Amino acid sequence: MSRRQDVQRRGLEGPRPEERTRPIGRRNSQGIRIDPEIEAEPKPRRTTISAYVKNEPGVLARVSGLFHRRQFNIESLTVGPTQNEGYSRITLVVEEPDPGIEQIRKQLNRLIPVVHVRELDSNPVARELVIVKVDGDEPDKVHAITEMYDGETLDAGPRTVTVQITGSENKIDDAIDAFKQFNIREIARTGQAALARGEEETARVEAKHT
């Protein structure tokens, strides 16, 4: 039932925008209330997120689709089976401001096959592997650098040497820098796999999900 029959048909009226009462505060682009004097936008930081998931077709596609669609900045993504049949662990390295990291955690949690998601603290046990193929002109020098980074020679021939280095992201970056002098022909990097340190659990998992 309309109750506006008695209203005069005059069109919209009222104080103009510049004549209106105004609020004092302000939010930033993340919707967080801020001191209007300080235009602070949160800075991105790099962190590791670990998800324990049920193996279902398409779960990886959904995870990577999510990052693309929501424009989350992803540095690396690895996935592999766990000791529990039917469950995998996905490790993500991301670079986002705090609200973005929180959104990543929550959005991953929304995916139905995801059992548990958390951000690992600043010092997880984390490793990555790289395979580097360089020119084989100076095999001794390549060998020396490989030794220096506790690496391993996987293949050596007259024209190429291929080595493997395992370690933290920083160490691998350094090693790659060092190999540049031999002309890097190709690189394959796995991305980071990580577990929480010591007694701490990477994922809180109920018995039904083991």
Partner 1 sequence: MSGEQAQAPRDTETEREPTAVTNGADAVVRALENAGVEHLFGVQGGAIMPVYDSLYRSDMRHITMAHEQGAVHAATAYGVVTGEPGVCMATSGPGAANLVTGIADANMDSNPLIALTGQVPTDVVGNDVFQETDAVGITSPVTKANVFADDPDSVGTDVGTAFALAKHGRQGSTLVDLPKNITNGETDRDPGAPTLPDTYEPPETADPDAVAAAAAALRQAEKPVILAGGGVIKADASEELRSFAIEHEIPVITTMPGTGAFPEDHELSLEIAGMHGTGYANMAITMTDCMLAIGTRFADRLTGGVETFAPDAEIIHIDIDPAEVSKNIEADHPLIGDAKAVLGQFADAMTGSPSTEAWLEQCDMWKQEYPMDYAAPEDAPVKPQYIVERFDEATDDDTIVTTGVGQHQMWAWQYWTWTQPRTWVSSHGLGTMGYGLPAAIGAKLAAPDRDVVCFDGDGSFLMTCQELSVAVRENLDITVVILNNKAIGMVRQWQDVFFDERHMASEYPWVPEFDALAEAFGARGFRIDTDDEVDDVIEEALAYDGPSVVDVYIDPDEKVYPMVPSGGDNGLFALTEDQL
Q: Which two tokens stand for residue 74?
A: 């992803």
Which of 35, 38, 57, 85 is close enough to bind partner 1 by CB under 8 A? 57
Residue 121 CB neighbours (<10 A): 11
Which of 45, 46, 86, 110 is close enough to bind partner 1 by CB under 8 A? 110
137 φ/ψ angles, rounded to the nearest 5 degrees: -65, -35
Q: Which two tokens stand for residue 174?
A: 């350094």
| Residue 157 in the binding site for partner 1 (CB under 8 A) | no
- Calculate helix-pair angle for 139-148, 169-179, nearest 10 degrees: 160
Q: Which of residues 64-103 bind partner 1 (CB under 8 A)?
A: 65, 69, 99, 102-103
| Residue 113 in the binding site for partner 1 (CB under 8 A) | yes
101 φ/ψ angles, rounded to the nearest 5 degrees: -65, -40
Which of 31, 157, 158, 198 is close enough to bind partner 1 by CB under 8 A? 31
| Residue 61 in the binding site for partner 1 (CB under 8 A) | yes
Total binding residues toward partner 1, as defined by CB under 8 A: 51
Strand ranges (E), 97-174:
114-119, 125-135, 152-156, 160-167
Chain residues binding partner 1 by CB under 8 A are: 1-5, 7-17, 20-33, 54, 56-58, 61-62, 65, 69, 99, 102-103, 106-107, 109-110, 112-115, 208-209
